[in-house]
């Protein structure tokens, strides 16, 4: 039976003990998600209740990890969410789970804050997954570097991904220095590889044989030392009870787009909307002809560029959304949602389709990344912490109401458009960073806030 989400568990006043492991790597593309998913599936198959978390503002890896563990996967992000919220989520999970797994982001020390910061702060022992293609005894040097780059970092050992043969594994073991454990490896086999596209892994719902891949990897991992239950970690309770947010959305119904074209939604965002008093209904811009009765609409990011003809051809839904906006009802759109609101969207091969035309302008997919990183939006009601990650560019004469402020450089941030109840931007906001500002996105705008 699936474990309830953190929003449904009340924080206790004492620390909670639960075995936990942090899965990291020297960099991206070493197989962290494959190994984390397989490890979650293995322990789940043994009857354990497993909770998995993903470090950083990732939408795609959590879909794989949720399928593997059978439970909701929440993000842990020290900047967007803050330390207290990360502690609360882990403490709540520890009260109901038999095992907690946290998958890192990029390399162990990449970014600021980085995976190592989170693992150290929460005192979770770490294991590094290393793609060993073209590597033998040097694996030991990689492990030594990861363990000693930051004195005292709790690295428990290494797990090799892509082992070519028994002899290859012998050489990997030979290079391991004293104090660094070799915890086993997975063979080099495409049956374990998770398919990718331009924003990362293909979402779980689109991989027809995903369970077979995870199960096969889980069987192999179950025979390694990595599968041993880690030692319990003491997860501290929040220092103070977080007061319930004001019921700013009481009585409001929000229609949330959710399908293959629009699926980039932080579960914590939906939790916060409910805590604010809103009721949520879900609909598909791809397949539904009718917009559910609602006071406001949430169009999250996703892959509209992969579904151009379906979105263009669903005239009934397009008209329903156009009428919603024409009536001045609130609509909030992020990234892919922004693209859907424009007049047209072209994919990277030049195929073009008509979108809603609620906002003037067009978008074109590019072959290289166009936006990445943390930003914040200072709204009258508060400052929302956000993240951006997109391959498209837009051309529009619209004047932005706000400009995102980048965390680490002074170049111009993403534009935020506000017009007749519509708020649209490339940024993905974490709503709990400012509940008041988040609520304002789904309430009628004051005339002084609107920008034509």
- Confirm whether 114 is a catalytic residue: no
Cβ-contact 87, 100 below 8 angstroms: no
Length of the chain: 452
- Residue 361 sits at the vertex; the CA angle it makes with 355 and 363, to the nearest 5 degrees, is 65
Say how many CA atoms lie within 13 Å of 431 toward its Cβ: 24
Phi and psi dihedrals of 419, rounded to 5?
Answer: -155, 120
| Cα–Cα separations (whole angstroms), residue 203 to 65, 86, 187, 207, 265 | 10, 24, 24, 7, 12
Q: Which of 86, 114, 325, 335 is catalytic?
A: 335
Residue 405 preceded by cis peptide, ω within 30: no
Secondary structure class of 5 (helix, strand, coil): coil
CB atoms within 10 A of CB 447: 7
Identify each DSSP E strand in 176-231 by its residue range: 181-187, 196-197, 200-201
Residues whose CB falls within 8 Å of the CB of residue 75, separated by 6 or more in sequence, listed in order? 53, 54, 55, 56, 57, 58, 62, 81, 266, 268
Distance CA 300, CA 262 (A): 6
Task: Convert 283-332 into a string of H (helix), E (strand) and C (coil).
Answer: ECCCCCCCCCCCCEEEECEECHHHCHHHHHHCHHHHHHHHHHHHCCCCEE
**Could you list the active site residues?**
335
């Amino acid at each position: 039976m699936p474990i309830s989400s953190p929003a449904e568990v009340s924080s206790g006043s004492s620390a909670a003990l639960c075995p936990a492991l942090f899965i990291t790597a020297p960099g991206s593309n070493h197989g962290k998600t494959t190994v984390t998913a397989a490890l979650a599936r293995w322990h789940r198959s043994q009857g354990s209740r497993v909770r998995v978390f993903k470090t950083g503002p990732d939408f795609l890896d959590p879909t794989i990890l949720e399928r593997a563990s059978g439970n909701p996967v929440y993000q842990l992000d020290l900047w967007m969410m803050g330390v207290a919220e990360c502690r609360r989520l882990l403490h709540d999970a520890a009260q109901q789970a038999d095992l907690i797994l946290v998958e890192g982001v990029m390399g162990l020390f990449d970014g600021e804050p980085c995976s190592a910061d989170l693992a150290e702060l929460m005192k979770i022992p770490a294991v590094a997954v290393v793609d060993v293609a073209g590597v033998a005894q040097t694996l030991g040097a990689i492990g030594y570097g990861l363990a000693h780059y930051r004195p005292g970092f709790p690295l428990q050992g290494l797990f090799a991904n892509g082992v070519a043969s028994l002899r290859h594994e012998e050489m990997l073991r030979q290079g391991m220095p004293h104090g660094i454990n070799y915890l086993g490896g997975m063979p080099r086999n495409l049956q374990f590889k998770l398919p990718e596209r331009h924003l990362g892994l293909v979402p779980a719902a689109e991989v027809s044989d995903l369970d077979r891949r995870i199960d096969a990897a889980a069987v192999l991992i179950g025979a390694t030392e990595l599968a041993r239950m880690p030692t319990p970690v003491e997860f501290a309770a929040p220092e103070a009870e977080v007061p319930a947010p004001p019921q700013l959305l009481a009585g409001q119904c929000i229609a949330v787009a959710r399908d293959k074209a629009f699926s980039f939604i932080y579960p914590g965002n939906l939790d916060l909307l409910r805590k604010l008093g809103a009721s949520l209904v879900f609909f598909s811009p791809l397949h539904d002809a009718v917009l559910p009765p609602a006071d406001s609409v949430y169009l999250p990011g996703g892959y509209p560029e992969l579904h151009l003809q379906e979105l263009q051809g669903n005239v009934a839904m397009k008209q329903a959304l156009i009428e919603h906006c024409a009536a001045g009802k609130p609509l909030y759109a992020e990234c892919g949602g922004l693209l859907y609101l424009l007049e047209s969207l072209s994919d990277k091969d030049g195929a073009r389709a008509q979108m809603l035309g609620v906002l003037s302008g067009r978008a074109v997919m590019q072959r290289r990344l166009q936006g990445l990183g943390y930003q914040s939006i200072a709204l009258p009601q508060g400052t929302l912490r956000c993240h951006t990650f997109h391959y498209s560019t837009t051309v529009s004469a619209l004047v932005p109401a706000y400009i995102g402020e980048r965390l680490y450089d002074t170049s111009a941030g993403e534009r935020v458009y506000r017009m007749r109840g519509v708020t649209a931007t490339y940024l993905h906001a974490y709503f709990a960073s400012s509940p008041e500002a988040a609520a304002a996105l789904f309430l009628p705008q004051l005339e002084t806030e609107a920008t034509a």
